[in-house]
Amino acid sequence: MSQPGTATPVVPGQRRDHPDGPVRRGFPPPAGWLPALTRRRWAVAAALAAIGGLALLVRSWRIDLFGFNSDEVVYAGQAASLAGNPGYTDLFPVFRAHPMLFQAVLSPLLRSGEVGMGGRWVVAVIGVLTVLAVYPLGARLYGRRVGLLAALLLAVMPYHVIVTRQILLDGPMVLLSTLTLYCLVRYVQRQELAWYLATAGMLGLTMLAKETSVVLAGSVYAFLALTPRVRRPVRATLLVLPALAVVFAAHPVSQALAGGSNSGRNYLVWQLFRRPNHPMSFYLETVPAATGVLLLAAAAGGLWWARRRNGWRETLLLSWIAVPVVFFELWPVKGFQYLLPVAVPVALLGARALLLLPVPARLRRPGRAGAAAPAPACAGRALRLAAVALVVSTLAASSWDAVSHQGRSTFLAGSGGVPGGREAGRWITEHTPDGSVILTLGPSMSNIVRFYSRRQSYGLSVSPNPLHRNPSYVPLNNPDGWLRNNNLHYVVWDSFSARRSPFFADRLMTLVRRYHGRVVHTEYVGTADASGRVTPVPVVVVYEVRP
């Protein structure tokens, strides 16, 4: 077997990509090979079943504890409108900022009634499928053990667990990007045009899940540019690019046929000229902890201590990491879930590193002649097993803490549901007249209130400048006049928006005092103080106002 990164010679009777070496033809198979192969396959299947069950457990545990956040209600409302659900068609437009692949898949579940947790369950299952898809990818790159360990690492990685418990586009996008990576690996190993076309088609589907995944085309280009050993046929590329364009063209064509082209252009302009929503240090502060510091350290260490084995496989995985990281670090708009595509290559590099972990010299024992002999196999296995257990247990503990928390008075977009939002919206439905209009602090809570209460709502902080607001949001140029003329009937304050926009929080409370606001409902979460005592903290407050 050649070392990774070196050209593998093709000899008669041998497949270049075969994980177990040459395939013997014309000779009888060794005795007992079929039972051994069967036992190995059953062992792999059992291990994958256990990993899949663990992945489903952490993604479904208390999945309905909190209601949807702003992004979730947008995608769920969009899918419900696409299905013709009468409760949402007037409140959530079908065409918004993103392609419609996932929304179209979700829409059959949302044809009538209130949208429940079915969408989250769909994403959780997609997350489990991504975990399982890592195994054949890892097995193709490094062997079955790396594939199984990488799947286990992704199953309990907090970053992937948190995002795949929400109705977000990033979970389905990462499943498709993982399949794209698999097709690219098969092309590199087999050098067949069919896998080259499959890579383009899967990348097109990935972009249909979320258009920001176009940056992965840069990863493919970087890998091919940095790996001269991989054949890059010009004629095949001329076929691949149209195939990619044809698949992704489903999004603009569907918009044009439905009369939504102007909406698509407006969203593009808004995305290009949006103001930065986080500092440059945002990803450095949030993503490493969510991915796992020990896992990142293992992946980086493995690239160093196995540097003599590095080859095209590591170039591919590093390209899949570097291009999205650089792009979204430079892109002014940042979101917690935007870097999720890097989770799969990080898990693969981490699994490879843990299984190649070098044994310290102190575990070596002197040979007969007094020279150092290789470390005992049992000592090396024990050390690597301990390292794997440490990394997996820390990831699992972080994920379990994230899915089991009782509530928070602060919120980071993309990191989970919003405590109190669903309950406040349902209270408004049950205790306010039909046709009531709600003023919220920001557009995020406005989306949540609109989704759960089926009442029209507006965000105070929505900018009147079209370049500085989402095209779906309607600004109130004169909220004071709306209140004076009794066109707004309730005001909703929330702690999450207040922390981000203290200026508008002060302005909202000024309007509440000016128009005789009185508290009619409050939602609380329990927060532990320094002594460990749980204290209820208000997170959503509903005021009734009158001129």
100 and 183 share one domain: yes
* Six-digit token string for 426: 């349902």
pLDDT at 185 over 70: yes
The residue among 493, 495, 498 whose CA lies nearest residue 519 is 493
Q: What's the pLDDT score for residue 17?
A: 44
Span 445-460, pLDDT tens digits: 999 999 999 999 999 9
396 and 503 share one domain: no
- Domain with 243, as residue range(s), is 41-357+380-402
Q: What is the mean pLDDT of residues 10-24?
A: 39
pLDDT at 544 over 50: yes
The more confidently predicted of residues 271 and 191 is 191
Beta strands (DSSP E) in 437-476 are 437-440, 456-459
Span 78-109, pLDDT tens digits: 889 888 888 888 888 777 667 778 888 898 88
Indicate the average pLDDT of the chain.
Answer: 83
pLDDT at 36 over 90: no
CA diameter of the chain: 98
337 and 393 share one domain: yes
Confidence of residue 430 (pLDDT cuts 50, 70, 90): very high
- For residues 131 and 55, is the Cβ–Cβ distance under 8 A? yes
Q: What's the pLDDT score for residue 344?
A: 97
Question: Which ranges in 227-368 belong to alpha helices (H)?
Answer: 234-248, 250-257, 261-273, 282-291, 293-305, 312-330, 343-355
Do the domain assignments include residue 365? no
Q: What's the pLDDT score for residue 464?
A: 81
* Six-digit token string for 261: 């082209």
The pair phi, psi for residue 99, each rounded to 5°, is: -60, 175
- For residues 287 and 412, is the Cβ–Cβ distance under 8 A? no
Q: What is the mean pLDDT of residues 325-350?
A: 93
46 and 179 share one domain: yes
pLDDT at 77 over 80: yes
Do the domain assignments include residue 509? yes
Specify the range with the lowest mean pLDDT, choosing from 178-182, 328-332, 490-494, 531-535: 531-535
320 and 428 share one domain: no
Do the domain assignments include residue 7? no
198 and 285 share one domain: yes
pLDDT at 197 over 50: yes
- Provide DSSP, 106-167: HGGGGSSS---THHHHHHHHHHHHHHHHHHHHHHHHT-HHHHHHHHHHHHH-HHHHHHTTSS
Q: What is the mean pLDDT of residues 275-302?
A: 90
What does pTM read for this prediction? 0.85
Helix (H, G, I), strand (E, B) or coil at 534: strand
- Cα-to-chain-centroid distance, residue 522: 32
CA distance 481 to 461: 16
pLDDT at 463 over 60: yes
167 and 263 share one domain: yes
The pair phi, psi for residue 61, each rounded to 5°, is: -65, 120
Do the domain assignments include residue 59? yes
Q: What's the pLDDT score for residue 2?
A: 41
Out of 370, 402, 434, a domain closes at 402
274 and 243 share one domain: yes
- Provide DSSP, 193-260: HHHHHHHHHHHHHHHHH-GGGGHHHHHHHHHHHH-TTS---HHHHHHHHHHHHHHHTHHHHHHHHTT-
pLDDT at 153 over 60: yes
DSSP annotation of 494 reads: E
Do the domain assignments include residue 85? yes
Helix (H, G, I), strand (E, B) or coil at 390: helix
| Strand 456-459 relative to strand 437-440, pairing | parallel
Confidence of residue 113 (pLDDT cuts 50, 70, 90): confident
Do the domain assignments include residue 413? no
Out of 342, 367, 402, a domain closes at 402
CA distance 386 to 389: 5
> To 5 degrees, how large is the angle CA 166–CA 167–CA 173?
100
Specify the range with the lowest mean pLDDT, choosing from 34-43, 229-238, 259-268, 424-433: 259-268
Domain count, the chain: 2
235 and 310 share one domain: yes
pLDDT at 24 over 50: no
Do the domain assignments include residue 507? yes
389 and 467 share one domain: no
Q: What is the mean pLDDT of residues 208-218?
A: 91
Beta strands (DSSP E) in 372-423 are none
Do the domain assignments include residue 31? no
Q: What is the mean pLDDT of residues 376-383?
A: 75
* Six-digit token string for 123: 């994403």
**CA 529 → CA 444, 523, 526, distances in Å?**
28, 19, 10
511 and 384 share one domain: no
Span 304-322, pLDDT tens digits: 988 888 899 999 999 999 9
Q: What is the mean pLDDT of residues 211-230?
A: 90
Q: What is the CA radius of gyration of the chain?
A: 27
The residue among 199, 153, 195 whose CA lies nearest residue 291 is 153
Specify the range with the lowest mean pLDDT, choosing from 4-8, 241-245, 398-402, 431-435: 4-8
Specify the range with the lowest mean pLDDT, choosing from 15-24, 114-123, 299-308: 15-24
CA distance 155 to 43: 18
- pLDDT over 70 percentage in the chain: 80
Specify the range with the lowest mean pLDDT, choosing from 35-49, 133-147, 212-226, 279-293: 35-49
DSSP annotation of 366 reads: B
Q: What is the mean pLDDT of residues 392-407?
A: 85
203 and 290 share one domain: yes
Q: What's the pLDDT score for residue 303?
A: 93
